[in-house]
Chains A and B, each alone.
Chain A
């Protein structure tokens, strides 16, 4: 047994008393196997990695019946011996590759320092570093050693860090969301690389991720965490294929699929309880959001029960409740029915620094009233620039933009008209909501502009309507954005865009920072708004399954160009452009029998 964890508890001391942020966590990891720790943010999955590293933040304390690495109890081990294990026998792959490398030192310097710490003789270090970089498929490894981290892409930096992690031939590697900061096509390469190295070295891997589908494909076994509890643990394919815990089921049904029928997303109400609330939840912490919970659930924590060989579930009713087959959405009849284009772009281009950098070139497309169009592509493909051009926040270098029949290519003259027709939902609500304004004030901001100044009472009335539209409780009217959860902030963000009753909403990556269950709430909200208000949508995302769920037509962008466009179903089922195929192949499929990641 490589890693043996039995009844691990992590407690934090708060003003209100001690709170268990991890409760009764047990798992085993055999050498050469992969265990996935899956959960949304705040579930405590990274905390487990920190316990392994002995890097708990101030005020956190861990106790366990057993926490053995290779027969040695890690929690009892003297700090000095424990430190010697780290880096040598236990290695880590971090989430943010760019911030994990020192920007002022070359890759070689950092790699060689790492090798020196591992006790590699001076003369061999450079050669070992070159070999390790070759192993992670980096081109020209020798030249790379003299480069600085900022000269490399995020994916290359992550490869360097993976090479460093495997350099000591460790028996355990802890990877904490190693691909979250990367593009999908990069993710696929990094995941297959980790898997290949892990298999070649016979390493045990603890893979921490929020992506259930990814974990199901990569891992041998997965443990699903919710608010500090392992709610379900078992063979990966079985947990994903036939989840038994209501939370795992909800997580799965909240994810839009890339193939098969489109089904309505089952969004859980509310959000995961935060640390402060955990102290008041002695029983099942999921009970408040659970569709099958009864009064006894909240009172006491059910034990992990064996439901199938190797498959454990912590739920009182998991074994009885059946999986209800989700209904499918009838293909929406809306679309370019009247055929009149609301927005028309013709040959739009944008370049910066006197034409030396081209962000968008020759983009032409149109959106009809009530239609929903998605733009997919990786970071740097020009998606956001295109959104800014549509909004008039930038002026195109060439081309023509028409909105409801009027020329709005140059923003200034038609500004008033434009903002009454198009509004934008910004990507990051933390940045898009002024922290000094209250919710009531934020959502009615467009009533504050001088030309249509409204009275306080009118604004309050409109704010209440908008909160109702976006499913926010009235109690939030007088709150400030920092007092809201991520999902609530995104709703406020949407409510503000709706205030002026636009006919087109431009949404730039508005669900990428959200957890799956909150993402489902927001996607359902967008669909409801489209149905009720008949508003057209330009939806920008890197997530293909979300675009498929929401949009009738899709544009695929690469390097500032639209390389493919058409009806979403057609493009995704019969992609013509090589890049579209690459994007589609990078997404872990729902079908567990399809091998993923594709072996290089």
Chain B
């Protein structure tokens, strides 16, 4: 619905969060053109340079260099690629797995609901960081395995919330009405229930993107994600850790990157929730 989009865009959180997220995506896509240097290129004559505006800074290295003389800005820009890749694929994967199970549980109820509900309970009783570390040990390092681990750990978030929404929609009379119009169960789910839970799903996906960025950073920090020669924010933090007292900027840059992406994801998610939640929307229209 057009009005729904208009209402979302009228919400400042959506505009700020969405704008930041879009900017991050563009940076990720156009990284090779935006980055002034190759992120792996070492310049051992210029190691641990401070940012260009500081004394001793070099205008060729805008945010300075790390201990191997690699350009921090270029690594930051290429790190966005890794972060966005993981954020999008992992969030979509978790959303898909979680909501398919949620639709089955919420629509059919009964035994299916019981089994899926208990699976979620058991899953959620594992501390997520430990669970993902165990999974990484099992799968081995690598970006795709990080995505897999996030999906396997975080589908429960989607499953719980979407299931309760499905159950609310299921109780509405338009569901039996669709059955009486001759819809099969699958048609009812796809044409009546999925559209009703989509706004909520978008909100959850947006928030999950922020979570995925942090998880990827943690795993690449401990060396379980990308190859050590690939520029990722977690790798950058790990590299800068040794020299953080003499060259803190190497640490600050990736932290800012993580901070901005999580902020963007949360603002966008919160804004979407505010503009699509009928209860909140109603309250606003009453005030108007």
Cα distance A419–B181 in the bound complex, in angstroms: 7
What total of A-B pairs shows CB separation below 8 Å?
Answer: 62
Q: A427 contacts the other chain (Cβ, under 8 Å)?
A: yes
Contacts of A79 in B (CB 8 A): none
Could you tell me if A432 and B174 are in contact, using CB atoms closer than 8 angstroms?
A: yes
Contacts of B176 in A (CB 8 A): 391, 393, 424, 426
Q: A519 contacts the other chain (Cβ, under 8 Å)?
A: no
Q: Closest CB of chain A to B59's CB: distance in Å?
A: 55
Cα distance A423–B180 in the bound complex, in angstroms: 7
Could you tell me if A427 and B173 are in contact, using CB atoms closer than 8 angstroms?
A: yes
Could you tell me if B182 and A436 are in contact, using CB atoms closer than 8 angstroms?
A: no
CB closest residue in chain B, given A445: B181
Could you tell me if B177 and A432 are in contact, using CB atoms closer than 8 angstroms?
A: yes
Could you tell me if B181 and A433 are in contact, using CB atoms closer than 8 angstroms?
A: no
Return the contact of A436 from the options B178, B179, B183, B196 (Cβ within 8 A).
B196
Q: B187 contacts the other chain (Cβ, under 8 Å)?
A: yes
Return the contact of B192 from the options A428, A434, A446 (Cβ within 8 A).
A434
Contact with B along A424-442 (1 / 0, CB 8 A): 1011100111101000000
Q: A570 contacts the other chain (Cβ, under 8 Å)?
A: no
Q: B111 contacts the other chain (Cβ, under 8 Å)?
A: no
Could you tell me if B182 and A424 are in contact, using CB atoms closer than 8 angstroms?
A: no
Return the contact of A416 from the options B1, B182, B187, B195 (Cβ within 8 A).
B182
Contacts of B173 in A (CB 8 A): 426-428, 431-432
Q: Which of B173, B174, B178 has the largest count of A CB atoms less than 10 A from its CB?
A: B174
Contacts of A452 in B (CB 8 A): 182
Q: A76 contacts the other chain (Cβ, under 8 Å)?
A: no
Contact with A along B248-288 (1 / 0, CB 8 A): 00000000000000000000000000000000000000011
Return the contact of B177 from the options A426, A451, A480 (Cβ within 8 A).
A426
Cα distance A293–B77 in the bound complex, in angstroms: 74
Cα distance A496–B180 in the bound complex, in angstroms: 10
Cα distance A419–B196 in the bound complex, in angstroms: 25
Q: B118 contacts the other chain (Cβ, under 8 Å)?
A: no
Contacts of B172 in A (CB 8 A): 431-432, 434
Q: Which of B178-201 contact A (CB under 8 A)?
A: 178-184, 187, 191-192, 195-196
Contacts of B287 in A (CB 8 A): 58
CB closest residue in chain A, given B171: A431
Cα distance A446–B177 in the bound complex, in angstroms: 10
Cα distance A504–B179 in the bound complex, in angstroms: 17
Q: A448 contacts the other chain (Cβ, under 8 Å)?
A: yes
Could you tell me if B187 and A449 are in contact, using CB atoms closer than 8 angstroms?
A: yes
Could you tell me if B187 and A434 are in contact, using CB atoms closer than 8 angstroms?
A: no
Contact with A along B3-21 (1 / 0, CB 8 A): 0000000000000000000
Could you tell me if B174 and A431 are in contact, using CB atoms closer than 8 angstroms?
A: yes
Q: Number of B residues contacting the other chain (C-beta, 8 Å)?
A: 20
CB closest residue in chain B, given A436: B195
Cα distance A445–B191 in the bound complex, in angstroms: 11
Contacts of B180 in A (CB 8 A): 391, 393, 419, 423-424, 446
Contacts of A122 in B (CB 8 A): none
Could you tell me if B187 and A445 are in contact, using CB atoms closer than 8 angstroms?
A: no
Q: Which of A389-439 contact B (CB under 8 A)?
A: 391, 393, 416, 419, 423-424, 426-428, 431-434, 436
Return the contact of B174 from the options A433, A450, A500 (Cβ within 8 A).
A433
Cα distance A496–B182 in the bound complex, in angstroms: 12
Q: Which of A254-287 contact B (CB under 8 A)?
A: none
Given contacts A424-B177, A426-B173, A427-B173, contact A449 B183 (CB under 8 A): yes
Could you tell me if B182 and A449 are in contact, using CB atoms closer than 8 angstroms?
A: yes
Contacts of A499 in B (CB 8 A): 181
Cα distance A436–B174 in the bound complex, in angstroms: 11
CB closest residue in chain B, given A411: B179
Cα distance A416–B179 in the bound complex, in angstroms: 10
CB closest residue in chain A, given B1: A436
Q: Closest CB of chain B to A350's CB: distance in Å?
A: 16
Contacts of B288 in A (CB 8 A): 15
Contacts of B184 in A (CB 8 A): 449-450
Cα distance A397–B77 in the bound complex, in angstroms: 66
Cα distance A416–B1 in the bound complex, in angstroms: 32
Q: Which of B177, B178, B179, B183 has the largest count of A CB atoms less than 10 A from its CB?
A: B177
Could you tell me if A450 and B177 are in contact, using CB atoms closer than 8 angstroms?
A: no
Could you tell me if A448 and B192 are in contact, using CB atoms closer than 8 angstroms?
A: no
Q: Closest CB of chain B to A573's CB: distance in Å?
A: 35
Cα distance A393–B173 in the bound complex, in angstroms: 11
CB closest residue in chain A, given B178: A445
Contacts of A445 in B (CB 8 A): 177-178, 181, 183
Contacts of A416 in B (CB 8 A): 182
Q: Closest CB of chain B to A425's CB: distance in Å?
A: 9
Cα distance A431–B176 in the bound complex, in angstroms: 11
Cα distance A426–B179 in the bound complex, in angstroms: 13
Q: Closest CB of chain B to A359's CB: distance in Å?
A: 17
Cα distance A58–B287 in the bound complex, in angstroms: 8
Q: Which of B184-241 contact A (CB under 8 A)?
A: 184, 187, 191-192, 195-196
Could you tell me if A419 and B182 are in contact, using CB atoms closer than 8 angstroms?
A: yes
Could you tell me if A434 and B182 are in contact, using CB atoms closer than 8 angstroms?
A: no
Return the contact of B182 from the options A431, A432, A446 (Cβ within 8 A).
A446
CB closest residue in chain B, given A420: B182
Cα distance A158–B100 in the bound complex, in angstroms: 45
Q: Which of A26-51 contact B (CB under 8 A)?
A: none
Cα distance A480–B192 in the bound complex, in angstroms: 15
Q: Closest CB of chain A to B259's CB: distance in Å?
A: 37
Return the contact of A446 from the options B174, B181, B196 (Cβ within 8 A).
B181
CB closest residue in chain B, given A444: B181
Cα distance A432–B178 in the bound complex, in angstroms: 9
Contacts of B182 in A (CB 8 A): 416, 419, 446, 449, 451-452, 500
CB closest residue in chain A, given B196: A436
Q: Closest CB of chain B to A6's CB: distance in Å?
A: 31
CB closest residue in chain A, given B172: A431
Cα distance A449–B180 in the bound complex, in angstroms: 10
Cα distance A433–B178 in the bound complex, in angstroms: 10
Q: Closest CB of chain B to A223's CB: distance in Å?
A: 28
CB closest residue in chain B, given A416: B182
Return the contact of B181 from the options A393, A436, A449 (Cβ within 8 A).
A449
Q: Which of A416, A424, A433, A434 has the largest count of B CB atoms less than 10 A from its CB?
A: A434
Q: Closest CB of chain B to A502's CB: distance in Å?
A: 9
Cα distance A230–B195 in the bound complex, in angstroms: 46
Contact with A along B106-125 (1 / 0, CB 8 A): 00000000000000000000
Cα distance A480–B195 in the bound complex, in angstroms: 15
Cα distance A34–B179 in the bound complex, in angstroms: 50
Cα distance A434–B187 in the bound complex, in angstroms: 14
Contact with B along A51-69 (1 / 0, CB 8 A): 0000000100000000000
Cα distance A436–B184 in the bound complex, in angstroms: 19
Q: Closest CB of chain A to B269's CB: distance in Å?
A: 21
Cα distance A58–B192 in the bound complex, in angstroms: 37
CB closest residue in chain A, given B177: A432
Q: Which of B136-160 contact A (CB under 8 A)?
A: none
Cα distance A119–B183 in the bound complex, in angstroms: 63
Q: List 10 A-B contacts (CB under 8 A).
A: A15-B288, A391-B176, A393-B180, A424-B177, A431-B174, A432-B172, A445-B181, A446-B181, A449-B183, A449-B184
Chain B contact residues, CB within 8 Å of chain A: 1, 172-174, 176-184, 187, 191-192, 195-196, 287-288
**9 smallest beta-carbon distances between A and B, as pairs:** A449-B182, A432-B173, A446-B181, A445-B181, A426-B173, A431-B173, A434-B174, A431-B172, A393-B176
Chain A contact residues, CB within 8 Å of chain B: 15, 58, 391, 393, 416, 419, 423-424, 426-428, 431-434, 436, 445-446, 448-452, 480, 496, 499-500
Given contacts A424-B177, A448-B183, 11 further A-B contacts (CB under 8 A): A393-B179, A416-B182, A428-B173, A431-B172, A432-B174, A434-B192, A436-B196, A448-B191, A450-B184, A480-B1, A496-B181
